[in-house]
Amino acid sequence: MLKEIDLQMKIGNKTIGGDNPCFIIAELSANHNGDLEVAIETIRAAKRTGADAIKLQTYTPDTLTIDCDKDYFKIDGGTLWDGKSLHELYGEAYTPWEWHKKLFEVAEEEGLICFSSPFDFTAVDFLESLNVPAYKIASFEIQDIPLIEYAASKGKPIIMSTGIAEEEDINLAVETCKKVGNTDIILLKCTSSYPAPLDLANLNTIPDLKNRFGVEVGFSDHTYGSLAPTIAVTLGARIIEKHFILDKSVGGPDADFSLDVTEFTEMVSKVRDTEKLLGKVSYDISEKVKKNRKFARSLFVVEDVKKGDILTKENIRSIRPGYGLHPKYYNKILGKKFISNIERGEPLTLEMIEGL
């Protein structure tokens, strides 16, 4: 059983958690391919897909790593980027800081919430100057406790991906936020593989994260397509984050596992349809369904009978439609007498039966 805790929080004008709609984040990442106009149009397109938010990444190659030729800094893990140095990759992928203000303004024009992942203290300070409504801690930064502490100290909701984290890493990150008085925490189940294979998604971890750590949960997805995010919603994900690209022909480091406009729109539609299907716990029936109860079973007279005849299994039956007596009376009324003549095909009522 999940803990019955009110975990709702506000990010911009959206309430996250509870019965509120899933918060859908379009991750811009490197999908601007170094072109400000592409970044702007990507934000405008994200709005058209039905996304709630656009997320940036705030770093420079030098705030993430150093420019060094040693093997430590070479990518060699079966990724799309093998052969590059970290500094080289981040130089291709980063979003220039001088773009941020403009991108935030465009998002606001479009009615999208805009926030970012900081990767060092200077990025947090810079984002504070832009009045971000939340901070996202990337999977590979979940062990950067000083960064988490600094971001959490700003009093904004903290969203943390758990892609490389073991349980003790997650616990330490959550406790770090709480230590500075920040309990607006969301953990995103994530698989830090690009793209992520389906058999490593382990989506059943989503409800366990909520129960184990007592925080709101979501899913940051690197699989192909939109199946995984849709299933994640059925397991309690209240945030879905997915890489978004204007057009895969633009290219770039993250293009391969990003969704384009058509695909992202389809994902949003599937998530919203899934939410409708899940609904809420309810044993009430709608007015439309109530009208259809007339097609349910009820007790009918199925042979012509006369006053004084005995009610038997032959002359009354539980059949469709539902205009007669409830079938729960069946055994109780067998052996009783009719008080008047009744034609075959009439709904049985208590008033037709002697002594009832």
Domains and CATH numbers, the chain: 9-59+94-278 (3.20.20.70), 287-352 (3.90.1210.10)
Q: What percent of the chain has pLDDT over 70?
A: 97
256 pLDDT band, cuts 50/70/90, is: confident
Length of the chain: 356
pLDDT (0 to 100) of residue 328: 97
**Own/partner pairs for 313-316, CB < 8 Å, 24+ apart?**
316/348
pLDDT (0 to 100) of residue 221: 95
- Mean pLDDT calculated for residue range 246-255: 83
The two three-digit tokens of residue 78, written as one number: 């079966």
- 261 SS3 class: helix
Name the region of 143 (left: φ>0; alpha: ψ -120 to 50; beta: rest). alpha
Span 178-195, pLDDT tens digits: 999 999 999 999 987 778
Give the global pTM.
0.88
Is pLDDT larger for residue 80 or for residue 336?
A: 336
1 pLDDT band, cuts 50/70/90, is: very low
d(CA 316, CA 305): 10
Span 238-249, pLDDT tens digits: 999 999 999 988
List all residues 6 or more positions away from 72 whose beta carbon is below 8 Å from its beta carbon: none
Q: Are 338 and 308 in contact (CB under 8 A)?
A: yes
DSSP label at residue 248: G
Per-residue pLDDT at 5 exceeds 90: no
d(CA 266, CA 251): 21
The two three-digit tokens of residue 91, written as one number: 């130089």
List all residues 6 or more positions away from 345 whose beta carbon is below 8 Å from its beta carbon: 300, 301, 302
pLDDT (0 to 100) of residue 58: 97
Per-residue pLDDT at 10 exceeds 90: yes
List all residues 6 or more positions away from 81 whose beta carbon is below 8 Å from its beta carbon: 75, 89, 194, 253
Span 18-42, pLDDT tens digits: 889 999 999 999 999 999 999 999 9
Span 193-241, pLDDT tens digits: 778 889 999 999 999 999 999 999 999 999 999 999 999 999 999 999 9
Per-residue pLDDT at 104 exceeds 80: yes
78 pLDDT band, cuts 50/70/90, is: low
d(CA 135, CA 258): 21
List all residues 6 or more positions away from 106 whose beta carbon is below 8 Å from its beta carbon: 40, 43, 44
Q: Which of 96-110, 189-203, 265-279, 332-346 has the lowest mean pLDDT?
A: 189-203
| Burial class of residue 325, CB neighbours in 10 A (0-12, 13-18, 19+) | buried
In 20-76 the beta strands, taken as DSSP E runs, fall at 23-27, 53-58
CA atoms lying within 13 Å on the CB side of residue 51: 33
pLDDT (0 to 100) of residue 2: 40
Cα-flanking dihedrals φ and ψ of residue 76, to 5°?
-155, 70
147 pLDDT band, cuts 50/70/90, is: very high
Span 294-333, pLDDT tens digits: 999 999 999 999 999 999 999 999 999 999 999 999 999 9
pLDDT (0 to 100) of residue 70: 92
- Which residues face 16 on adjacent strands? 9
- 182 SS3 class: coil
d(CA 105, CA 238): 26
The two three-digit tokens of residue 167, written as one number: 């349980």
d(CA 102, CA 37): 11
Q: Are 53 and 238 in contact (CB under 8 A)?
A: no
d(CA 161, CA 205): 13
Mean pLDDT, the chain, whole residue set: 94
Inter-axis angle of helices 261-278 and 227-234, nearest 10: 20
d(CA 191, CA 196): 6
pLDDT (0 to 100) of residue 55: 98
